Structure formats: C-alpha cells, structure tokens
Structure 1
Amino acid sequence: MRLILIRHGQTPSNVAHLLDTAVPGPGLTELGHEQAAALPAALADEDIEALYVSTLVRTHLTAAPLAAARGLEPVVRDGIREVAAGDLEMLGDNESVRIYLTTVFGWSKGELDVRMPGGEDGHETMGRFDAVVAEAAGTDAGTVAMVSHGAAIRAWVAARADNVEVDWAAENALSNTGIVVLEGSPTDGWKALTWEGKAVELPEDTGTGADSGPAGRPVHDPTSR
C-alpha cells in the first residue's frame, strides 16, 4: 500500500507556537485554507482511493478540498489525532516544547512506558495510530491519504519506517500540509519514499517550519516556541 501522511494546514495556535492538541481544536488561518486548497494540485499524480482524517477540526478543513476534488468521503478516526499534550496543553515555552518532543521521539526509540506529563504513554499513542493504518491496509486500497498532525506523523514514521532514523526525524521539520509518502504494509514493514518532497535517502534539513507550530519543529530548534 502507498500511504500518504499529510499534516493539517496552519492554525492560529501554530502561529502562536502553542501545544494545542485537545479536541475539537482550532480551525485554520487564511494561510491554512490556502494550503489546503493547494493539496489537490500537489497530489494530482496520486491515485488516492481512501481519505482519512482525525477527530480535530483542522484535519477536516484541510482535507475538504482534496475530498471534493476526488469525490471521497473522509473517514474520521480518533487514532490519528495529535499526541495529547496533557499538562503541557496550550503552553509554548521552550522547556514545555522540549519535554513534549523528547517524550514523543523517545517513544519512537522504543521508550513506550514513558508517559507524557498528564497524558498518554507511547503504547497508547503508537497503538491507536497503528490501528488506523492497519484498518486502511485492510481495505485493499492501493493508495490511502491520511490528514493527521505534526508530532503524530513524525513519531510514527520514525518508529515504523525502516529507513528513517529517529534522530533524523526529530531534527527535520514537517511544515503545515507537509507530506510524507511511504510504501509497505503493517506485516511487511514500511519504507519512507519522500519527506516534504525530498527523497528520504538524501536527508537534508527541511527548514525550521516557521509559524507551523511546535509539533512540526526540530527538537533542538532554539526558536521552537
């Protein structure tokens, strides 16, 4: 299966650099709507047969232009929502963002027992994302797109793609409506083909993700708040 993971468009909380992860969450900024409107053209060469969104409003709004262009009804699944920030919810200071991202990428390294302060542990987060991917794979669709969230996508890809090092995923941004394309299956494993349009075999810094919020930023970016 070809799996296309898309981060949602820009939100007001992204601009304010806040860890805003609760349901239903904010809508999109004007730029976010423009980013969403550009997705059908960006994915014109992809034969998308199924489209999934999370339970957060921003993924529905991001997916809407693509759904309309392809005549698809988005499938809503809680499993691909953002990593819950717990006690860090709506914080944006550097220390809170550092704790959030290091916890998330610790899960990618197998430290699944560690719990986000006041939130989920790695078993819960990875398990729910795995379940949605397994469901999609079970549909026999050749290509599936999922509109999800920055930290959730980066952590899951780092944990599940055989050719993505955790430290590389942690230090490379995923901008709003940034796309990661993978091929594989839950049984045979996954290989990441591209990260924001760049071949994963040629890892380059994808930038700081300005105004795309802390969940998409490099772990050690000093401007990550």
Structure 2
Amino acid sequence: MTTDHSIENTRIPEYDVDPLFIERWSPRSFTDKEIPKQVLHSVLEAAKWAPSASNWQPWRFIIAQTKADREKFHSFIFDSNRAWCEQAPVLILFISKKTMPDGRPNPFHQMDTGAAWASIAFQAKMLGLATHGMGGFDREKAREVLEVPDEYEINHIAAIGYQGAAEALPEQFREREKPSSRNPLSEIVFEGEFGREVEGI
C-alpha cells in the first residue's frame, strides 16, 4: 500500500490562505531547461520589492546561469547538495550587507534578505519554476571564489529551475521528493507572552 504524498493530502491549511502558499515547496529534481532571461529577471524584480528596514535593502544576489559560473558554485557546495543541484540551470547566492549606511551594525540584514528570498520563491512558483534553498556549502570558500567583500554576510544558496521527475534524482533523494507538512498554528503563535495559547487557535 502506497501513501499519498500529494499536496492535497499533505498540506491542509487550518484557515483560508492563497493556494500559492500551500503549493510552493522545495523539490530537488530539476530539468536542465534554461530559464528565459525575462522570466529570471521577473523573479529577481520581486525580490527587489521585499520589505526592508528603513529601506536599506541589504540584500545582494550573485547568480550563476552559465556552465562556467555554475561550476564555480559547485566547487564550494557540499557533495550531498551537489548530487541533486548540479542539474538546476540557475544558482543564486544570497548575501547581505551587515552595516547601515552610517557604518553601524544593521541588526535586520538577515531578516530583510530572508524576505527577499521568500519573494523569489513565491514569484518563481507563480511563473512555473521551482526553488530549493540550501545551507550545505563552504561559506569561506564561497567568499574566496566569488570575491565577496567582508562587509557582506553569506547566507544561503538557492537552486532555481523547472521541476523534474523524482525518478531522475539519485536514489537516496527520491523518497524525500514530496511536499512537507507544517506545524499547527497552536505551536507557533502565542498570546501576549511566550507560551501562552491563543484562544481559538
């Protein structure tokens, strides 16, 4: 007997929400189909408009869409991620400027860059693309290979492309190629102070 891991059976919202938020997930299987520049630029445009503390916009994106540039990325991505991400036609390194314009530390740079990443993920989904973020890579080597200045934090990498079939993945990833569920609101939302339940949730 097989288990149904479809979105309809795995991701059941507790309250009404746009289907975009339910249907976006992080597959590992990508085809090698190139992303048209106009489509990729639309995805990046969405990130440009992400919320930003005091409009400092600390995010920066280094994209790899040529074979030579992707191979640079492959040099610092751990083998466990390279095994599936090498097929993706575009890789993006997310970095963020750690200081405000006056030179003081910016405590919001990673949060803002996370908002930009979410914008990319959702806009990509709207345009028929899949995305998968990964933290498994050598950050110091990435800084060296891509010549990232010290004032920028290296956050994560995302693979982006058109979704492929689970059967195209190395065997160890095939069982994991399915949408994941989420914790209930009652576990993540509190009323007034940490740990206090919200009535009705």
> Normalised by the size of structure 2, how large is the TM-score?
0.27
Larger Cα-atom Rg: 2
> Normalised by the size of structure 1, how large is the TM-score?
0.25
